[in-house]
Structure 1
């Protein structure tokens, strides 16, 4: 009898955990289907002054110009450390091996992206206002 009760308790526990995970997966799936613009800044463990300026200025531009969109998920900013194992797949997806900046547009479940790495390295530290304006314009264009 004790074995039967133990087995039932274990089954209920596994069912409850599985159900929770299903809800979590559904929320993740809904987010992945939502039309949005993602600003992805990839970096390694060690970063130079320009790399840090790219993240700082991109994040400042997004937060200053798209606060409402950040709140409702229409615009997303992610800083991704490619030296961490959990970020290996996304780094492979974008073929990233060092600091990089991408603007990704998700529309009807399909993604298009633009690599702004060269632009970022040319402007983020030496011309931050130009850099921020360019990032803002790319996001605005992607939101249309």
Structure 2
């Protein structure tokens, strides 16, 4: 009887460390990668052939996140990607976001699920790099603050 009690006690103590609160946050596999939840994805969707404006939307978005959010990128709270919707390996992600043409999307992953929002305002700012970067950094800050 004492052995059974000791075994139960040991198993209880061992399993308690496995179900505790994760100090780093919850993790989930997203696009084949383990990501912290919650987090934000900024994705520039494009095809094989890109016009000048399509290239600028992606380049300015990447510059914005690299300039204003290096800590968030390092921590995994923010992810940036260029995704070619013409490639078969990007089909699933393209469908998840609903991207059908060159576009900039912001996806939010939380414990409650996933939501995606296309940002069409960036197209009106491709002629002014500073305005584009200022605008997009504000949008990303709002999304991060809402996590």
**What TM-score does the superposition give when structure 2 sets the normalisation length?**
0.72
Find the partner of 1:122 among 121, 124, 135.
Answer: 124
1:90 Cα deviation after fit: 1.6
Question: Is residue 68 from structure 1 mapped to residue 47 from structure 2 by the alignment?
Answer: no
CA distance in 2, matches of 1:74, 1:92: 22
CA distance in 2, matches of 1:46, 1:54: 14
1:33 Cα deviation after fit: 5.6
1:28 Cα deviation after fit: 2.9
For 2:104, the equivalent position in structure 1 comes to: 101
CA distance in 1, matches of 2:82, 2:140: 16
Q: Are the counterparts in 2 of residues 33 and 108 from structure 1 also a CA contact under 8 Å?
A: no
**Secondary structure in 2 aligned to 1:31?**
strand
Tell me the number of residue pairs that the alignment of Structure 1 and Structure 2 aligns: 117
Structure with the higher fraction of residues in helix conformation: 1
Greater relative CO (CA pairs within 8 A, separation 6+): 1
Q: Are the counterparts in 1 of residues 106 and 118 from structure 2 also a CA contact under 8 Å?
A: yes
Q: Are the counterparts in 1 of residues 53 and 123 from structure 2 also a CA contact under 8 Å?
A: yes
Cα distance change, pair 27–110 in 1 and its aligned pair in 2 (3 A)? closer
Cα deviation per residue 1:18-69 (whole Å; 9 max; x = unaligned)?
xxxxxxxx97368356211110110000101101101110000100010011
Structure 1 residue runs of 5 or longer lacking an equivalent are 1-25
Q: Are the counterparts in 1 of residues 36 and 77 from structure 2 also a CA contact under 8 Å?
A: no
CA distance in 1, matches of 2:138, 2:50: 26
Structure 2 residue runs of 5 or longer lacking an equivalent are 1-26
- Quote the RMSD (CA, aligned, Å): 1.9
Find the partner of 1:41 among 25, 39, 44.
Answer: 44
**What TM-score does the superposition give when structure 1 sets the normalisation length?**
0.74
After the TM superposition, which of the residue ranges 107-116 and 35-44 deviates more from structure 2?
Answer: 107-116
Question: Is residue 28 from structure 1 mapped to residue 29 from structure 2 by the alignment?
Answer: yes
Structure with the higher fraction of residues in strand conformation: 2
